[in-house]
Amino acid sequence: MIISSNPIEIINQLKAIVGVQNYIEDTSQMDSYLKDARGLFQGLSPLILKPLNSEMVSAIVTLCNEACIGIVPQGGNTGLVGGSVPGKSGLEVVVSLERMNKIIDIDPINYTMTLEAGCILSEVQTAARDVGRMFPLSLAAEGSCQIGGNLSTNAGGMAVLRYGNAKELVLGLEVVLPDGSIMSGLRRLRKDNTGYDLKQLFLGAEGTLGIITKAVLKLFPLSTNKATSLVAMSDLGSTTKLLAKLREFSGDNITAFEYMDRACIDTLIEKTDLEDVFSQKYQHYALVELSSSRQDANLQSLLESVLEAAFVDGIAIDAVIATSETQAAQLWRLRETLTEVLRSLGAFIAFDVSIPVSLVPEFITKATKFCNEFCELGRVFAFGHIGDGNIHYYLFEPEDGDTDNFLAKKSEIKTNINDITAKLDGSFSAEHGVGLVKKQELKYYKSHVEIKLMREIKKTVDPNNIMNPGKVL
């Protein structure tokens, strides 16, 4: 809420901070900043600000804090839980980092890149590749999401198994705090044992504690040698057994292990130009990729050896190994196309859960049993990053069903699936965050002590509650 005798003057001061070309006040031009990627949330704002540097961000935040005006930090606005959308009051300003998109420094010897928060993820990947290095974070939205948003939501993606989530790819941060001061911690150090690791407060905080303006990222050797395979397995339990065998044989060479069930494959064949790579149907599939920066590493032979052992043990029953980059890309298209295709099938209820890897088969079995019993003729799809325990679980309305009746059951379905997840020591949000969508789940499934501590941190850092108000907590 704006506490000022002259809010129009405050808005004019905010416009003056960024300059005439760097804000939007015409509501007809604001649409893409006011609604989320899935169209589930639509907010209002008097002003979209596009600062050019950290000093402008600091000036904006200082003024907003003094006037108690809410700020919604925004990157590429590709999130799936409503965390980057303003509320309906019309009193929160949006601060878009899109024009802070400079790569400040790349140090190939130190394997680091220093950059501004508005850099597009795919451009970060390209910049690293241009100097013979790799930034491994890879997401479906990488052509439009921004690195500041990736860090604020602790994004996951395809390579977490080997390289970790976004927060594990950061060495230093610059953050504008809620009082407008700038925490400058752009250190390129891998060892800095000097008290609290303050940057971790802001990684995954979804903009509720400050605005990330710059970062130092870790780079890695470029993977020039890869082996890719689609493997069919005899049963659900064999998925984790195959993963364990791959890790045992290949060590750190395993980069991805993506699961898809038969329903996913059938839908891809029906709805796209993709074809089944096997001559017969199987129920469970894993897309496996090994990678190395060593040219002499014979990953193809290594993968063949692992699969031969898996065949002998009855874990794998069929496999196709890509013999070219084109074939590997075709296999990856199965996984990369899947989410978009599924969301065209009708009304659905989606879950982004993480489970200890060894218990993933138990989760899928129990969740599917519940859905089949509770929602007769409902369509279940299970897929995701099984290598790190992150499963995307979708329940669609029955074909030719009653959509309203199906969605009326959403709360009960969510509670049951989240309860199954919690009993298996899992998390209701693996990589999408909390935002607006999962606030109730956070309140219910986090312990009282954890919630209390989170609230105390928020109150201490942001006493006027101006940073992304109403999100997460």
Give the CATH number of the domain where residue 164 resides.
Answer: 3.30.465.10
208 and 237, same domain (yes or no):
no
Q: Which residues contact 204 (CB under 8 A, 6 or more apart)?
A: 152, 153, 154, 167, 433
Q: What share of the chain is helix, strand, coil (3-state, %, to 5)?
A: 40, 20, 40
Q: Using an 8 Å Cβ cutoff, are 97 and 213 in contact?
A: yes
By DSSP bridging, strand 254-261 and strand 379-385 are antiparallel
210 and 108, same domain (yes or no):
yes
pLDDT at 251: 81
184 and 126, same domain (yes or no):
yes
**Whole-angstrom Cα distance, residue 458 to residue 178?**
10
173 and 239, same domain (yes or no):
no
Say which CATH number the domain at 376 has.
Answer: 3.30.70.2740
pLDDT at 401: 80
H-only helix segments in 84-236: 121-130, 147-152, 160-163, 199-202
DSSP-based three-state secondary structure for 429: strand
For residue 68, tell me if it sits in a domain: no
pLDDT at 413: 97
Q: Which of 309, 334, 359 is the last residue of a domain?
A: 334
Give the burial string for 361-399 (b: 16+ CB within 10 Å, else e): bbbbebbbebbeeebeebbbbbbbbbbbbbbbbbbbbbe
**Whole-angstrom Cα distance, residue 105 to residue 108?**
10
**Residue 175, strand partner residues:** 183, 212
CA dist list (Å): 354 to 8, 166, 388, 428, 469: 46, 16, 8, 7, 27
182 and 256, same domain (yes or no):
no
pLDDT at 5: 55
From first to last of its 473 residues, the chain has per-residue pLDDT tens of 344 557 889 999 999 999 999 999 999 999 999 999 888 899 999 999 999 999 999 999 999 999 999 999 999 999 999 999 999 999 999 999 999 999 999 999 999 999 999 999 999 999 999 999 999 999 989 999 999 999 999 999 889 999 999 999 999 999 999 999 999 999 999 999 999 999 999 999 999 999 999 999 999 999 989 999 999 998 999 999 999 999 999 888 999 999 999 999 999 999 999 999 999 999 999 999 999 998 777 999 999 999 999 999 999 999 999 999 999 999 999 999 999 999 999 999 999 999 999 999 999 999 999 999 999 889 999 999 999 999 999 999 998 888 999 999 999 999 999 999 999 999 999 999 999 999 999 999 999 999 999 999 999 999 999 999 999 99
- Which residue range is the domain that position 412 belongs to? 348-432
263 and 321, same domain (yes or no):
yes
209 and 131, same domain (yes or no):
yes
**Whole-angstrom Cα distance, residue 279 to residue 294?**
34
Number of alpha helices (DSSP H) and beta strands (DSSP E) in the chain:
16, 18
Q: Which of 197, 221, 245 is the last residue of a domain?
A: 221
Residue 383, CB half-sphere, CA atoms under 13 Å: how many? 24
Residue whose entry in the numeric block shows the structure tokens 């920066």: 293
For residue 380, tell me if it sits in a domain: yes
For residue 410, tell me if it sits in a domain: yes
Token pair of 421 as six digits: 């997840």
**Whole-angstrom Cα distance, residue 123 to residue 341?**
26
For residue 456, tell me if it sits in a domain: no
118 and 210, same domain (yes or no):
yes
For residue 77, tell me if it sits in a domain: no
For residue 56, tell me if it sits in a domain: no
For residue 263, tell me if it sits in a domain: yes
For residue 162, tell me if it sits in a domain: yes
Closest CA to 265 of 250, 284, 279, 247: 284
241 and 323, same domain (yes or no):
yes
Number of domains in the chain: 3
Say which CATH number the domain at 262 has.
Answer: 3.30.70.2190
Task: Report the length, in residues, of the chain.
Answer: 473
128 and 208, same domain (yes or no):
yes
Token pair of 210 as six digits: 């400050």
217 and 257, same domain (yes or no):
no
238 and 308, same domain (yes or no):
yes
Q: Which of 334, 358, 385 is the last residue of a domain?
A: 334
